Amino acid sequence: MALASQEGMPLVGFLVRQEAKGHGMQRSIEGPLAPGMRVAVFDDTVTTGGSLKHAIEQVEACKCTVVKAFTLVDRQEGAQANFAHWGYPFQAFFTIAELRAARQA
């Protein structure tokens, strides 16, 4: 997000918490998310995709449209199939198998 800002790209970032904070404004989403936005969601790793699905549900509750889900590493334990079933485009930058193979090389 910092690089996008430096390049003048009109991107904004937000954070989805697993649970709303117990103090302050008690929000589950922090950042400039506004109704009607089209967003991509990202998580560093996914196993079944449950945490990322929770984030999608929170974003959709704010009346935004999730256009894609990304992860850095897919642990290959069901996320790909789950996202297909849920109807969200999903992409991993790496799979755990690819990282293990690279480590072996």
* Confidence (pLDDT) at 8: 83
* Confidence (pLDDT) at 40: 93
Average confidence (pLDDT) over 4-33: 75
Output phi, psi for 51, to 5 deg. -65, -40
Q: What's the whole-model pTM score?
A: 0.83
* 101-105 contacts at long range (C-beta below 8 A, 24 or more positions apart): none
Domains parsed from the chain with CATH numbers: 37-105 (3.40.50.2020)
